[in-house]
Amino acid sequence: MIIAYINSLILFLISAIHIYWGVGGKWGLMAALPEHNNTKVLRPGPVATFIVAVILGCMALFYLYKINELAIFNSFNLPWLDQYGLWFLAGVFLLRAIGDFRYVGFFKQVYGSRFAYLDSRFYSPLCLLLSINTFLLIAFLK
């Protein structure tokens, strides 16, 4: 069950960073977005950044729900979410680790930026860890 706590903590921290960026924080922002020829490929605004923060926070809460630490999702009565939610998260994180074969992930083609360096060393391995942890959690909960 420690796996669920680890994933939740990681996702809550990443969510908090996105909230910080959404309210105008600049620390780490330049290294968080892929770029090509010194131009950012993505330019998310505050609303998009807050949406990502909320999604990450909900993912973190879902891990806690799955180990019976909170019942927040019980009121939604979505049996498919309860049955397939962890599989979905494991797949999302695995796909992010693999990447888009251009700017992000282990198989990206664009290198030479601060983001590409951090993506290869930290972001993609972290997504792979989240995916592996989720697959392990699925196995433990059976």
pLDDT per residue as tens, the chain (142 positions): 899 999 999 999 999 999 999 999 999 998 999 999 988 999 999 999 999 999 999 999 999 999 988 877 777 777 888 899 999 999 999 999 999 999 999 999 999 999 999 999 999 999 999 999 999 999 999 8
Q: Quote the pTM value.
A: 0.92
Identify whether the C-beta of residue 46 lies closer than 8 Å to the C-beta of residue 70.
no
Secondary structure (DSSP) of 31-94: GSS-EETTEES----HHHHHHHHHHHHHHHHHHHHHTTS--TTGGG--HHHHHHHHHHHHHHHH
